[in-house]
Amino acid sequence: MNIAVIGAGNVAWHLAPALDNTDFAVREVYSRKPRHAAALVDKLYEAEVKETLDFSSSQSGMFIICVPDDAIEEVVQEIILPDDATLIHTSGSQPLSVLEYAASYTTGVFYPLQTFTKEQKIDFRDVPIFVESDDAATEKMLVSMGKAISKKVQKISSSERQALHLAAVFASNFTNHMITIAEEIMKNNKLNFDWLKPLIAETINKSLTLGPSKSQTGPARRGDLEILDKHIGFLKKDKALTRIYKEISQHILDKYS
């Protein structure tokens, strides 16, 4: 099956080349910024830049929306599809129903659970892919497409995917933000952030090996209120960080008390 990709951001940057090495070849790429589409096309075998969302004469059978979550509805309203087209999105948080008003024969979701940046290479074989469709044949095709690039493909409902995405935000995005805060504290105190890297690596590794609850350590886990007060005193000039520290520490205290 030939595929058209709408969007040329982080997800498309990795997903399109991965699919292009399978029987699901990418033939068209559209982006509101044509130079981004052109950059992605350069990574593909026989794809071309599509300048508009009018795909009425396209030879593609599947159209994959890889745009930010809040832009999906706009694409659905503007895209013009050929007969018998399948329209899918790759969002973790948006339900299947966001595509219900599309002029499409069938719709579905193809959600790769991973954090994507253009600079970081991803091995799709280890990326879990979650699929959904109200149409059995489309669901089967999405499973087949998933298995073409990944060892881990799972059917999931919109409500289950919403919970999964929320958990992923805590596990990935929030964790990374905590590391960003740590980096800023080190920098502001003229300390080397590299000193924390073995600790960060061991923390993640231990959490995955032993389980996160068993791996929790630190002053809040021990109930060491004296150390907590010292840290809060150190942060007193930064009200936002003080609030974050207090909230997270209290949550840990409550959980393990």
Domain with residue 117: its CATH number is 3.40.50.720
Same domain (yes/no): 70, 181? no
What pLDDT is recorded for position 105?
Answer: 79
Same domain (yes/no): 53, 178? no
Q: Are strands 129-132 and 106-112 parallel, antiparallel or unpaired?
A: antiparallel
Same domain (yes/no): 139, 241? no
Same domain (yes/no): 31, 139? yes
Mean pLDDT computed over 174-192: 98
Summarised one tens digit per residue, pLDDT across range 18-64 is: 999 899 999 999 999 999 999 999 999 999 999 999 999 999 999 99
Last residue of a domain, one of 111, 128, 156: 156
- The two structure tokens encoding residue 128: 């879990």
Same domain (yes/no): 89, 168? no
Q: Is 113 left (phi over 0), alpha (psi -120 to 50) or beta?
A: beta
Summarised one tens digit per residue, pLDDT across range 193-243 is: 999 999 999 999 999 999 999 999 999 999 999 999 999 999 999 999 999
- Alpha-carbon distance of 248 to 239, in angstroms, equals 14
- Alpha-carbon distance of 214 to 208, in angstroms, equals 10
The secondary structure of the chain in percent helix, strand, coil, rounded to multiples of 5, reads: 55, 15, 35
Same domain (yes/no): 148, 181? no
Last residue of a domain, one of 97, 127, 156: 156
Q: By three-state DSSP, how is residue 132 classified? A: strand
Per cent of the chain over pLDDT 70 is 100
Same domain (yes/no): 107, 124? yes
What's the chain's average pLDDT? 96
Give the domain range for residue 246.
Answer: 161-256
